[in-house]
């Protein structure tokens, strides 16, 4: 009996290892690929822009926690979207700051991350930029997610060798996960806008 238990345990370990490796390969591929993705939404640029750039509307398509805009109405440069997420270790908070807005074409956000390390704290920003382009009766929404300075995070934290490699690995996984999350959010935004538009037709 113990022999079979051992075999089953080995199979489970192999499956978990394979899934973990495949997940890393997928996230790593996304992190290393073109930073811009495009989706076509069956609505006018004004309609899509309103969902992207209205404080209350951002809570319907942004994921990753509870979203709270700093104020209601159309966003302006300097406005903040506060994000809070609760898990087993407690509540974590972050924020997206509006860095650029040009109706009905462009909306950009930036999140600054920091942590202790070396002689100076690690500083890393993640930037998301949405560009809208009219295509007939539809809108092409081009989304860019980048992390400027990600390659130098290890140097910022004063880490080298294996430690620096692990930090670089971590930032790459983080960027890949954020790009994957962004793709899911844009897909959800497309479904919501097109579904609402379809329901509104007589």
DSSP string, 55-84: HHHHHHH--SSEEEESSSSB--TT-EEEEE
Domain boundaries, the chain: 30-62+101-200
CATH 3.20.20.150, domain 30-62+101-200, yes or no? no
Amino acid 30: pLDDT: 45
Local mean pLDDT, 10-residue blocks, the chain (202 residues): 47 47 48 75 96 92 90 94 83 90 96 57 78 96 86 51 53 79 92 73 44
Amino acid 11: pLDDT: 43
Amino acid 87: pLDDT: 74
DSSP designation for 180: H
What is the DSSP code string of 120-155? S-EEEEEEEEEEEEEETTEEEEEEEEE-TTGGGHHH
Give pLDDT tens digits for 24-82: 455 445 445 557 899 999 999 999 999 999 999 998 999 888 999 999 899 999 999 99
Cα 37 to the center of its chain, rounded Å: 12
Residue identified by tokens 């690690």 is 122
């Amino acid at each position: 009996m113990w022999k079979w238990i051992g075999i089953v345990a080995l199979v489970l370990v192999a499956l978990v290892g394979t899934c973990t490796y495949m997940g890393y390969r997928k996230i790593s591929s996304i992190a290393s690929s073109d930073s811009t993705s495009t989706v076509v939404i069956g609505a006018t640029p004004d309609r899509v822009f309103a969902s992207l750039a209205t404080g209350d509307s951002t809570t319907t398509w942004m994921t990753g926690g509870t979203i709270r805009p700093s104020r209601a109405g159309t966003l302006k440069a300097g406005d903040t979207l506060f994000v809070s997420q609760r898990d087993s270790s407690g509540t974590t908070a972050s924020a997206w700051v509006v860095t650029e807005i040009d109706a009905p074409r462009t909306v950009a956000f930036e999140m600054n991350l920091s942590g202790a390390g070396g002689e100076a704290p690690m500083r890393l920003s993640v930037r998301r930029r949405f560009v809208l382009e009219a295509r007939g009766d539809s809108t092409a929404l081009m989304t860019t997610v980048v992390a400027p300075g990600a390659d130098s995070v290890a140097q910022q934290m004063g880490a080298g060798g294996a430690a620096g490699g692990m930090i670089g690995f971590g930032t790459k996984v983080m960027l890949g996960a954020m790009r994957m999350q962004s793709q899911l959010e844009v897909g959800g935004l497309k479904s919501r806008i097109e579904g609402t538009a379809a329901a509104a037709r007589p």
